[in-house]
Structure 1
Amino acid sequence: MLDILVVGGGYVGLAAAVAVKQSAPHLKIEILEAAPGHVWEKDERASAIIAAATRMLRVLNVWDEIAPEAQPINRMIVTDSRTSDPVRPVFLTFDGAAEEGLPFAHMIPNVAMVRALRGACERLGIPIRHGLSATGFTTTSTSTTVALSDGTTVETRLLVACDGVRSKLRDMAGIKTVTWDYGQSGIVTTVAHARPHDGVAEEHFLPSGPFAILPLTGNRSSLVWTERTADADRLVASDDLVFEAELQRRFGHKLGEISVVGGRKAFPLGLTLSRAFVAPRLALAGDAAHGIHPISGQGLNLGFKDVAALAETIVEADRLGLDIGALNVLERYQSWRRFDTFRMGVTTDVLNRLFSNDVTPIRVARDFGLGLVERMPGLKSYLIGQAAGISGEDRPKLLAGEAI
């Protein structure tokens, strides 16, 4: 019998398995991943990783492998304008340092992050079973038996669902969600530009939604371009000339001539918040527990916060001789994470609704608010600390850079 079966071999599932196994090597852990073994190598996207998550990756002994491909975000600027406006006034700027010598975020290619975490799994002896999915499970007072897509079963003390925003395990457990669709899609692509970005990230609030330019190593940037779903589908399906022309209108000319150097895909945007994060012998983590708008760049970071809290809950319960799959043990993890997740979900929802429109009174009010924050350095420092995950007393140890 396994101690923990993690379903989902993405960043959150891999990190959860590594975090627990590193601190409790006697626990028997396996990862179940429905996708074939090398699919992750084709992921051209990049993710913003906040300072607290960087600390966790250091403790998990994977940061040194990731670091050469990580681009620090040295500064962030926020504008609010229409696409047709000849000038985009900057209403808000953030210095990129969360504290001395620590940028508040890095941009990391997803491939680099998965490669490092998979390597850690191999070193720690955590098997990853590819091409298999969970088709059902039954739970008793002492274990859960999971039915697999190849007709076999596996028994485990704890089942950790990291199987995405459309989590089948969450649905099988009967856990309800709060869900709605924004009618928007996020176009993700990578561009090369003539001039260096100097580590500056830009968030342009346009009437159709935010347009984020996020620096990568070299003269490259990752884009998260929000449009109404019908427009996004049309743009992704258009030829290169049309796509790059529309892109340049939004990107501007500050970094010189640009060219698309990666694929382009559109992902539908919505809000999904699980009403519960746990059930008997089941814990949800990452997108299985919450899916939010990318306006704040916090989606994956919420998942890493889940990892830190869940790993600490499991390891400390095991050290005390408690049953790691018992509901009263898992409820500590839920109480640790549910409020923070709900707060971030509400925040991103309000921000998206506030900035994804062209209503003049609302535009005037929000620009006044941005300008007010710009003139309050104390508030800006607080917001940076919150965004970087380094503020607050009740942080899991991994997010503070400490071993469990």
Structure 2
Amino acid sequence: MNDSNISAAAERRDLIILGGGLVGMTLALAAARVGITSHVIDRADPADLVAEGADGRASAISTASWNLFTNIGLADRLDGLGCPIDSIAVTDGMKPGRIDFTPKAEEGSLGRMFANRDLRIALFDAARDEPNIAWHVRTEAIRRDRDGHGVEVELADGRVLRASLLVAAEGRQSPTRDEAGFALAKWEYDHRAMVTGLFHEKPHGNTAWEIFYPEGPFALLPLLDDAQGRHRSALVWTVGEKDAGGVIAMPDAMFVNEVAERMHGVLGTISLSAPRMSYPLRFHHAGKVTGERLAVIGDAAHGMHPIAGQGLNLGLRDVGTLVEVLSEGMRLGLDPGDAQLLARYEKWRSLDTFMVMSVTDGLTRLFGVPGRTASAVRRLGMGAVQRIPTLKRFFMDEARGMSGKLPELLQA
């Protein structure tokens, strides 16, 4: 439901979720499925977020994240909108010795690529139909109070909401996380991601390409053909911050030429299919993700290089874990803000998050070392992965999000 339909706005609910983006709204829906009620607060207007052309980005949804969407009833709304990733080709500058990650037929795809707009439409439509969600849009929290009895949030329009637990899903610049004093391990990569969509002459065959250059990775991610039957892929091209201004200033024709040069003709002739966007790349990891009646999830808790496409998926693992911990505790009669439950959530997520982010950061640094010797060593290692099934299985399980201890919502 939307804010105009909410009566008794001060009614106490189980959760107050600050941020109604992909992670925050998925949490609200997953919680609602097990009877956990929530207030969701978002400063944006949903109509703006789903407007045609407002956001040309796409996200890789891992197998585990797709299981979550299926288990909370979103799969039908998303059916036919995602492009399967049937294989991933990894190469060091298109030199010999690439790795091909292709699961067995019975294992299904390595994930699915969705336009962010389609994900938002599905989430927002489901939220409007869910009585356990009170959705407050075009407003923000101007006061957040937490104590032993509960949580109280005052909105910019004067309304006061109450709950047992506050969840910060506000993204990388989370004011709630900063207000709570959670220390961040963080550093700049001195890189910028250039993001857009491409039309291309040859079909992609549902293959994602990860091409590593010393200045940064260059990823081509398969999308469904458009309504006119044109082949499409999403592009995430990482460039050094010192070169970013020049790339941003390029006319479209020059930009396309630079992209084509790095693609080595694998998809034939190309042209732009979406607006060009860019954003700086940073690493951050909150040392704590819980406090008194507070949990921090998604990009508010962790942000990484997009090299492995795991940022959103890591946030969705937060969702599945938090809902499982809260629902089990509430079945035992515990309050959703109980310190024991939050301690269990933090312990479960801290190891998994650290492992995924460490691997991602390590890959970023390994493939960013320039020079022929470094390239030869990388290709030697890639050849070993290509030949050794157990190593290949490890990396495919990571890509599918099926490693480690998974919450039930992320299991098939």
TM-score scaled by structure 1?
A: 0.94
Counterpart residue number, 1:40: 49
Counterpart residue number, 1:84: none
Counterpart residue number, 1:30: 39
- SS of match in other structure, 2:258: helix
The answer to whether 1:222 aligns with 2:234 is yes
The separation in 1 between residues aligned to 2:159 and 2:321, in whole angstroms, is: 31
Contact preservation (8 Å) 1:18, 1:121: yes
The answer to whether 1:201 aligns with 2:213 is no
The separation in 1 between residues aligned to 2:249 and 2:273, in whole angstroms, is: 16
Percent identity of the aligned residues? Answer: 36
The separation in 2 between residues aligned to 1:139 and 1:15, in whole angstroms, is: 24
Letter in 1 for 2:385: V
The answer to whether 1:91 aligns with 2:98 is yes
- Please point out which of 348, 360, 364 is paired with 2:376: 364
| Matched ranges for 1:294-309 at <5 A | 294-309=306-321
Counterpart residue number, 1:320: 332
Contact preservation (8 Å) 1:233, 1:266: no
Deviation at 1:389, TM superposition (A): 2.0
TM-score scaled by structure 2?
A: 0.92
Counterpart residue number, 2:170: 163
After superposition, the C-alpha distances for 1:27-70 in whole angstroms (9 at most, x for unaligned) are 43111011122222122111001101111111111112212110
The separation in 1 between residues aligned to 2:240 and 2:184, in whole angstroms, is: 24
- Please point out which of 273, 282, 285 is paired with 1:270: 282
| Matched ranges for 1:305-384 at <5 A | 305-384=317-396
- Please point out which of 72, 87, 91 is paired with 1:75: 87
RMSD over aligned Cα atoms: 1.4
Counterpart residue number, 2:145: 138
- Please point out which of 233, 246, 264 is paired with 1:234: 246
Contact preservation (8 Å) 1:204, 1:212: yes
Deviation at 1:103, TM superposition (A): 0.8
The separation in 1 between residues aligned to 2:154 and 2:249, in whole angstroms, is: 39
- SS of match in other structure, 2:283: strand
- SS of match in other structure, 1:38: helix
Counterpart residue number, 2:199: 192
Please identify, of 314-323 and 144-153, the stretch whose mean Cα deviation from structure 2 is larger: 144-153
Deviation at 1:387, TM superposition (A): 2.2
Please identify, of 100-109 and 190-199, the stretch whose mean Cα deviation from structure 2 is larger: 100-109
Counterpart residue number, 1:121: 127
After superposition, the C-alpha distances for 1:212-232 in whole angstroms (9 at most, x for unaligned) are 000000110001110012322
The separation in 2 between residues aligned to 1:60 and 1:266, in whole angstroms, is: 32
The separation in 1 between residues aligned to 2:192 and 2:156, in whole angstroms, is: 31
- SS of match in other structure, 2:166: strand
The separation in 2 between residues aligned to 1:237 and 1:314, in whole angstroms, is: 49
Counterpart residue number, 1:398: 409
Contact preservation (8 Å) 2:97, 2:382: no
Counterpart residue number, 2:112: 106
Contact preservation (8 Å) 2:97, 2:379: no
The separation in 2 between residues aligned to 1:257 and 1:389, in whole angstroms, is: 33
- SS of match in other structure, 1:340: helix
The answer to whether 1:18 aligns with 2:29 is yes
- SS of match in other structure, 1:112: helix
The answer to whether 1:183 aligns with 2:195 is no
Contact preservation (8 Å) 1:136, 1:172: no
Deviation at 1:183, TM superposition (A): 0.4
The separation in 1 between residues aligned to 2:165 and 2:150, in whole angstroms, is: 7
- SS of match in other structure, 1:68: coil
After superposition, the C-alpha distances for 1:122-179 in whole angstroms (9 at most, x for unaligned) are 2212232111122331211111112322343322211111000111110111111101
After superposition, the C-alpha distances for 1:334-381 in whole angstroms (9 at most, x for unaligned) are 111111111111111111111123133322222111111111122212
Contact preservation (8 Å) 1:188, 1:222: yes
- SS of match in other structure, 1:15: helix
Runs of 4+ in 1 over 6 A off after TM superposition: none
After superposition, the C-alpha distances for 1:312-337 in whole angstroms (9 at most, x for unaligned) are 11111111110111222111111111
The separation in 1 between residues aligned to 2:142 and 2:214, in whole angstroms, is: 42
The separation in 1 between residues aligned to 2:245 and 2:313, in whole angstroms, is: 27
Contact preservation (8 Å) 1:277, 1:284: yes
Letter in 2 for 1:38: A
- SS of match in other structure, 1:69: coil
The separation in 2 between residues aligned to 1:22 and 1:318, in whole angstroms, is: 14
Contact preservation (8 Å) 1:73, 1:106: yes
The separation in 1 between residues aligned to 2:301 and 2:39, in whole angstroms, is: 20
Counterpart residue number, 1:248: 260
Letter in 2 for 1:161: A
